[in-house]
Amino acid sequence: MSNFPNALETLIDKFAALPGIGRKSAQRLAFHVLALPEEEALSFAGAIEEAKRTIHCCTVCQNLTDSEICPICSSDKRDKSTICVVAEPRDVLSFERSREYNGVYHVLHGVLSPLSHIGPDDIRIQELVARVAAGGISEVIMATNPDTEGEATAMYLSRLLKPFEVKVTRLAYGIPVGANLEFADEATLLRALSGRIEM
């Protein structure tokens, strides 16, 4: 038997449904929200509604945006002929932080995952093919995560894009900068060896 009133129980359930939040944390968060001043709690609820209402996918690259076309796709300083294909919107941020990449992106919103029943129609693959088919693209860089599903997705996409005779590349594998060779796993070492370059 729980001693929490229903509305509190519901709020705890909502928090517990978020990824990485267990029952105990959800309780702590719900108590925190209840202890907030009225105004702040309502502005939290409002932020969820507002984000859900105004944010959608860029019609070009599928990244999250509040305009029809995201700032990156609409910037005339970016090289529209190079597309970097990433799995999630947060991956775009990683690239932007490096300040080196000047092309545009394509966000898949997931990777192919037969075990989770995520097939080609469940992620934004059609949109990528349409962009490449429309022409003007010189290179597509696959930047999905270097795990099984990420690699399978990159492989699937590269085959799908073959008929368009566009250059398809993959991010380099290797030892991360600053890492210790001692702790590098075998697969990474093998990739770093086979991808070695002349100095």
The residues binding its own copies (CB under 8 A) are 1-8, 10-11, 13-14, 18-21, 25, 27-36, 38, 41-55, 63-67, 71-72, 88-90, 92-93, 96, 109
Least distance in angstroms from the C-beta of 87 to its own copies: 12
Least distance in angstroms from the C-beta of 62 to its own copies: 13
Cβ distance 102 to 123 under 8 Å?
no
| Residue nearer to its own copies on the CB measure, 30 or 166 | 30
Q: Tokens for 13?
A: 């359930």
Longest distance between any two alpha carbons in the chain, whole Å: 69
Least distance in angstroms from the C-beta of 26 to its own copies: 11
| Distance from C-alpha of 95 to C-alpha of 123, rounded to nearest angstrom | 21
Cβ distance 104 to 73 under 8 Å?
yes
Sign of CA dihedral 177, 179, 182, 188: negative
Least distance in angstroms from the C-beta of 119 to its own copies: 18
Cβ distance 98 to 86 under 8 Å?
no
| Residue nearer to its own copies on the CB measure, 11 or 166 | 11
| Residue nearer to its own copies on the CB measure, 55 or 187 | 55
| Residue nearer to its own copies on the CB measure, 9 or 151 | 9
Helices (H), the chain: 6-16, 23-35, 38-54, 71-74, 89-98, 125-133, 148-161, 186-194
| Residue nearer to its own copies on the CB measure, 1 or 199 | 1
Least distance in angstroms from the C-beta of 20 to its own copies: 7
